[in-house]
Structure 1
């Protein structure tokens, strides 16, 4: 997807870069596949802020995304590619041969009119067919050839995709083992063991240019429900550990408002995930 730059007629547009959405449908989302979202603005039912730096934002409708891909065991046609305000990736509206409609994560290079397939009931025909080139097709991991790029990866069979769901992300199948697991390398560099019966989708997630967006002004972030973040060094000592001092001075390692180290400290919970991580990211 191409990038759009603006003429520098205002300070907000001087460095602003957005994405051209010419490939996406301009029609409204399917009504039966959406629901309204209530604004929370980072506050609880007492009006107290529980999530910092959230506030404002346009009204949104939530699109129900089929992360499991186990509703219909037949082929579907891509009806349209749409923008989803709730995620960085684009979504695709597909229609199965039975007439049912569904939203899925749109893979890269998927086009209107393409055929995608959901394979979760295994038979002799499914095993003998090579599905490695069918972008958008979902199938169990043991049917995927080694070296294939995949996304929307299940951690537990039947739970729905949890890994590689944001814009431009993917995993690469490295090896299959006899103990019922396969090693998948994520684009973060982490190699993780995934059950062979987990459902995955072929291809990488769309909208990989999302990382090149430059919002250009604070108002563009407020449209996305992001409030300004005040630096700790600009506060008084009573408000933040970095506050106070003459001039720009911090005097200690970077910490949060409550004194927790913010740079370099590992936050992964190893109690549940350690045995499934073969190689950690550097």
Structure 2
């Protein structure tokens, strides 16, 4: 069962069950430079809020990437320093104009994207000074990132993910989330709020 440690004790509540999922290997490095790729199709991914785009490169290789907003089947993409500035293309920060909205930003050159990967996420390139660039995250935090780190133009697609109505309790269970029991509904042994006849106020430790 999920959420248990080596002794079988629950260490993380509300985990378990859920539908079986296959993990999709996503290309966060985008290191096939200079080889054009065509978006074959957009796919759902149960492992993340964003959708995936399946790319077919000119040499026949296929890779998944995080689908940028505005991508559709048939879109041509390119990565590398020479790539044009259009959504879905990946370039080093040194080659991206200041003020551009980007996503899937690396924090160390060559490590793969770590920032702004969720549905609807984006960061803004604010400035470049020497070998570092400044990016503003959605939280308002401003981070310094090396200019050789790569970023993808545009923002992540599926931006209405947060507005989606789950509809029923069962859909939460499909995602592997178990119910949250209120402390007041428990016995005294299980919770400080537990026990009592009827509804009683929580006792305060003096």
Normalised by the size of structure 2, how large is the TM-score?
A: 0.90
Q: Quick check: 145-154 or 213-222, which moved more?
A: 213-222
Q: Would you say the 8 A contact 2:33–2:78 is kept in 1?
A: no
Structure 2 equivalent of residue 161 of structure 1: 113
Alignment partner, residue 134 of structure 2: 183
Q: Say whether 1:58 aligns with 2:9.
A: no
For residues 47 and 181 of structure 1, do their structure 2 counterparts lie closer, same or farther at Cα, with a shift above 3 Å needed? same
1:208 pairs with 2:159: yes
Q: How much has 1:232 moved relative to structure 2?
A: 2.5
Contact 1:141 1:198 in 2 (8 A): yes
Number of the residue aligned with 2:177? 226
Offset of 1:195 from its aligned partner? 1.2
SS of the residue aligned with 1:65? coil
1:177-224 CA distances to partner (integer Å, 9 max, x unpaired)? 12x211111112221111111111111111111101221321111111
* Separation in 2, partners of 1:186, 1:154: 13
Q: 1:70 aligns with which of 22, 25, 31?
A: 31
Q: 1:142 to 1:250 in 2, by over 3 A?
A: farther
> 1:241 and 1:144, CA in 2 relative to 1: closer, same or farther beyond 3 A?
farther
Give yes or no for the alignment of 1:109 onto 2:60. no
| Corresponding residue for residue 149 of structure 1 | 101
Give 1:73 shift.
3.6
- Between the aligned partners of 2:77 and 2:114, the Cα distance in structure 1 is 20
Partners of 1:82 and 1:93 within 8 A in 2: yes
Return the alpha-carbon distance in structure 2 between the equivalents of residues 117 and 176 of structure 1: 23
Q: Which of 118, 137, 157 pairs up with 2:89? A: 137
Q: How many residues align?
A: 203
d(CA) in 2 for partners of 1:73, 1:244:
67
Q: Once superposed, what is the RMSD of the aligned Cα atoms?
A: 2.0
C-alpha displacement at 1:72, in angstroms? 4.6
Q: Report what 1:278 is aligned to.
A: none
Does the 8 A contact of 1:57 with 1:223 survive in 2? yes
1:249 to 1:108, Cα distance in 2 relative to 1, 3 A: farther
Contact 1:72 1:96 in 2 (8 A): no
Name the counterpart of 2:45.
84
